[in-house]
Amino acid sequence: MTTKINIENIELEQTKKLKAISFFNGGGGMSLGFLEAGYDLLMSNDIEPEAKKSHEINHPDIPFICQDISTITKQQIFDTIKNQSIDVIIGGPPCQGFSNMGDKSSCDPRNFLFESYLRIIDFVQPKCVLMENVAGFKNMYGGKFFDNLCNKLSLMGYDVYSKILDSSDYGVPQKRKRVFVFATKLDATYHFPTPSKSDIGALTSKNNVGEAIMDLMENYESYPNHIPLNHTDIVIKRYQCIQEGGKLPPPEELPQEIRRKNFGNTYQRLHRLRPSTTMVPGNNAFPVHPVLHRSLTPREAARLQSFPDKHVFTGTRADQCKLVGNAVPPLLAAKLAQSIQEHIEGNAFKGLMVEDLVCMRGEGYKRSIKKENIKTEKNSMTFVDFFSGAGGFALGFKQAGFKGLLSVEIDDHACLAHEKNLKDIPLLKADLSLKEIQEKIKETLKGKKIDVLVGGPPCQGFSLFGSRRYINTKGYDPTDDMRNDLVFKFWEYATILQPEWVIMENVPGLETLCDGLYLEKIYEMAHKAGYVNIKHQVLNAANFGVPQVRKRLIIIATKKNYVLPFPKPKYHENNKDWQYPFRTVGEVITDLAEEESYMIHKNHVPPKHNEIVSARFSYIEEGKKIDIDKLPKKLKVGTKTGKPIKNFSHVFKRLHRNKPSSTMVPGHNAFPVHPWLNRTLTIREAARIQTFPDDYEFFGPIIHQGLQVGNAFPPMLAQLIAERLKRVVSNNWTPDNITELAKYSMLKFEE
């Protein structure tokens, strides 16, 4: 008997493509690799306009969402992929916070973009996940970001693998080490690809620089993106001094007129018979051509990244260099894609334990710490936090690696929040204005060395939202306000405890109060206490990655002749091409508008406004205050008072999703209106805007939770100040020896 086989069904099964979606697409290296390996790419995403334009030229039929990943909604994704099941999510979140290049900071907001990546993984539920980052991601900042990623993937039901791969082992003519994290819901063991020099599709393997680019020495107009940089005569003379495969000689070996210190890849010449050094983004960041006296063109760099010539990059030359330098080499991505396909199709061994396995699904992950890597308390810088509230300052300093010796706060609910969230920092519930508390504090500290005293004495006496607004109508005398005396009490404690550093935060109004007499008195007290260097600056939290315009006076004093660690602004309202724009409300609260988020997050209870109030909110345009004249007559009158309503500055102001928030002020009823929902912010949304992590919980009645959040110092800014202070001390930076790079990129100096 002859069995009939349906050849058509077999062919259909064999040609069925695996489905992938890509995030942080950039120049398209990862997505191109998966396409060449035979995957069906359903969508891509990146925030950069030139990434979108490049994608649309190279892959016009594949949808592209040009948007910050933090603001992408579940519905957007499912609409774009037409509700199809996904086999693999791929992406490489920005690496600047982990890279050895530039100014690293653990509180760089870009470090947290993988959280948005995880959010999308959680609701898309792909079979597998692939993430790429710089090798430093694995161990930088004690590995806390890597550990958090692996832990969360495991708890989401994935086995997690990780390995550092060098592109040159896979046919890419470039030494480029990157860490890859692979996560899978499948039972089969995953194996990273073994080194090979094979071609895949249009992606060809090359052994060295010469094989990849020497045919591009002429015919610049024949190849896309083959744009040489017009160097100055001095730069060309420097290039002429660099031997093939070498770097610029020491300054003393150069003619006087062209001397300078070596700076990264800029003055490094490639060798034809070796792989290239790592391509990094930047218009003038590419290394020098092996034989020509110029840096590489974007096309030559793209060849060294294994991009085929048909793959085009758009924008200015600088844009093209950025897209190329940040990309995952497509050939390496294709080999990873093939290994993932083998894993999904069950062609890998099952049950075999491999060294690349980080953790199993459901087990979570916490790395074992070797004794020699544990910092002793003796080596950790210490701090004491007065008027600590719910712990914004304390959290920031703790995240920067400081050890908290003591926090002092008087409010019951704030104390509870501090105790629950910062369990390793001793807390004293006390009124700092009472003299007997001084002995209690000294007894608690037991003579321990204090590196930093931080604190924000209550600011209502100076605030524009407090009594100062009534100065003319009430005959208000700031010297009669007891709260203002707490500022001097803070500096009395500095005199008693003698910390090496003192950092005080308050509202900007303190600077001009009583024609500056209060500030003058603070300086006088600091000098008498032995602080030789004291200065103040008004810092806007929005300039440091906090999605909120929040200006605060910061006073920093030190007993030694250190430079003061006022951080340099990195984010700007009217940013230049090379600067970062202010972070926005939409970046941090978009996911909290999803209905299921109310069940997931603590302190995320939507306010229950009556119908009249919600109706009023519906008339407020995004980013604007209420226009009472536009309200229907029935909405112009207060439901309880029967009197015409007033345009209160915060209560009837709607935030804009594409701008930073206005200042969060204390009180649940003082929070502004949500950008698109007809309600005010929840406690969790306000906490996100203040840069508190989601696992930080607030306690007490809702009005007290609002006070805890609104009064807090943004932890992200506190952490940045702490990191800068630690860097100043570890490098012993004084005005005489601080490096020019630190002046340029890290610290802000007032003229």
Neighbours of 447 (CB within 10 A): 7
Query: Does residue 110 come out as left (phi exceeding 0), alpha (psi in the -120 to 50 range) or beta?
Result: alpha
At 708, the amino acid letter reads: Q
Torsion angles phi and psi, residue 230, rounded to 5: -85, 95
- Say which of 128, 150, 321, 459 is annotated catalytic: 459
Q: Cα torsion at 679, 682, 688, 691 (round to 10°)?
A: 120
Give me 724's structure tokens.
């800068």
For the chain, how big is the Rg over CA atoms in Å?
29
Place of tokens 């509202």: 507
Cβ atoms of 571 and 542 within 8 Å: the answer is: yes
Q: Which residues make beta-bridge pairs with 504?
A: 455, 555
Q: Are 239 and 231 in contact (CB under 8 A)?
A: yes
Give the whole-angstrom CA distance, residue 456 versus residue 573. Answer: 26
CA dist 374 and 360 (Å) reads 26
**Whether the Cβ atoms of residue 168 and residue 275 lie closer than 8 Å to each other:** yes
* Residue 141: half-sphere exposure toward Cβ, Cα within 13 Å: 22
Helix, strand, coil abundance in the chain, percent, nearest 5: 40, 15, 45
Secondary element (H or E) of residue 745: helix 740-745
* Residue 540 neighbours by CB under 8 Å, 6+ apart: 549, 550, 551, 569
Cβ(318)–Cβ(227) below 8 Å: no
CA distance 711 to 488: 20
Length of the chain equals 751
DSSP 39: -
- The tokens describing 384, both together, are 């004491």
Enclosing H/E stretch for 669 = none
Provide the token pair at 432: 């700092």
Tokens, residue 588: 């941090």
H/E element, 533: strand 533-540
Rounded-to-integer distance, Cα 604 and Cα 705, Å: 11
Both tokens of residue 220? 């610049």
Closest CA to 721 of 450, 395, 412: 395
- Helix extents (H) in 370-435: 392-399, 412-421
Buried b (16+ CB within 10 A) or exposed e, 174-205: bebebbbbbbbebebbbbbbeeeeeebebbeb
Q: Any bridge partners for residue 552, and if so which?
A: 539
Tell which residue, 243, 274, 264, has the closest CA to residue 174. Answer: 274
Verify whether residue 241 is a known catalytic residue: no
| Contact by Cβ (8 Å): 156, 121 | yes
DSSP code for 403: E
Helix (H) or strand (E) holding 524: helix 517-528
Residue of 389, 566, 406, 379 lying closest to 493 (CA atoms): 406
Helices 482-497 & 517-528 angle (0-180, nearest 10): 20
Phi, psi angles (nearest 5°) of residue 563: -70, 155
Tokens (6 digits) for 650: 């915060």
Q: What is the DSSP letter of 217?
A: S
Give the residue numbers marked as catalytic.
Answer: 459
